[in-house]
Structure formats: structure tokens, C-alpha cells
């Protein structure tokens, strides 16, 4: 509401009583966007491999977050991942590794500029 009334004012982002600096805000935004992009990319690949949207989206978010069963008839609470084919399992295994080892750390290690120094 304050931004609508005072559009040119500068507001500090606060967490509790401390101010969050700009580098921390950028890092959080980068992590969030990367996480969402990986989720969307993985979901689109799973959907392209022939799975319904609920199964594709929940399988990828389950593996990326390392939280357990997904939704849908195949991988729902009464199902498991054993009926998936190899390409799907490779994709979901990659998502599990990215989620477990930290998304940004793994992606930085995979970039060529990291290995030049």
C-alpha cells in the first residue's frame, strides 16, 4: 500500500529487525527462479514422454524437493516409481541430485567457466 501512495520512496527489505542486503536478495531470487525453471523444464519433459500433467508435475517436484510420494495414479501415495521407464528415471534421478546437493552449486560446477581457473 505504501508503494502505491509513495511510488518514489525507498524501502528497506527486512527480516525480523535486520535489513537484508541486495546481494542476499539477488541470491534468493536466483535460487527461486532456478528452482522454478528446473521444475517447469522437468515437468515438460515428463509430459512429453507421455505422462499426464498431474503425474509429471508432482513427480518432478517430489524428486526436486526430496519429499516422498507424488500425486496421480502411477506415483501417488498408493503407487511408486518402479513402473517408470529408464529415461524418466534418469531425469528424476538428476532432479533428486540437484535438489539434494543444492541446485546452484551443481549448476555452477557443470559450467565450463568454473573449470577454466
In this predicted model, what pLDDT tens digit does every residue of 60-89 receive, in sequence order?
999 999 887 788 878 878 778 888 899 999
45, part of any domain: yes
pLDDT (tens digit per residue) in 32-68: 999 999 999 999 999 999 998 999 999 999 999 988 7
3, part of any domain: no
Q: Please indicate, yes or no, whether the overall pTM of this predicted structure exceeds 0.85.
A: no
82, part of any domain: yes
Which residues constitute the domain of residue 28?
22-115
Structural domains in the chain (count): 1
81 contacts: CB under 8 Å, gap ≥ 6:
59, 75, 89, 92
96, part of any domain: yes
Neighbours of 15 (CB within 10 A): 8
Q: Hey, is 58 helix, strand or coil?
A: helix
31, part of any domain: yes
At 19 the pLDDT is: 93
pLDDT band at 31 (very low <50, low <70, confident <90, very high): very high
1, part of any domain: no
71 contacts: CB under 8 Å, gap ≥ 6:
54, 55, 58
8: left (phi over 0), alpha (psi -120 to 50) or beta: alpha
Amino acid at each position: 500500500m505504501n508503494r502505491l501512495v509513495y511510488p518514489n520512496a525507498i524501502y528497506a527489505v527486512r527480516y525480523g529487525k535486520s535489513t537484508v542486503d541486495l546481494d542476499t536478495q539477488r541470491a534468493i531470487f536466483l535460487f527461486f527462479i532456478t528452482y522454478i525453471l528446473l521444475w517447469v523444464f522437468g515437468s515438460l519433459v515428463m509430459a512429453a514422454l507421455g505422462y499426464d500433467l498431474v503425474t509429471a508435475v508432482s513427480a518432478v517436484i517430489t524428486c526436486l524437493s526430496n519429499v516422498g510420494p507424488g500425486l496421480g495414479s502411477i506415483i501417488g501415495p498408493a503407487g511408486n516409481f518402479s513402473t517408470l521407464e529408464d529415461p524418466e528415471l534418469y531425469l528424476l534421478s538428476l532432479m533428486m541430485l540437484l535438489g539434494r546437493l543444492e541446485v546452484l552449486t551443481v549448476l555452477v560446477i557443470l559450467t565450463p567457466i568454473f573449470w577454466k581457473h
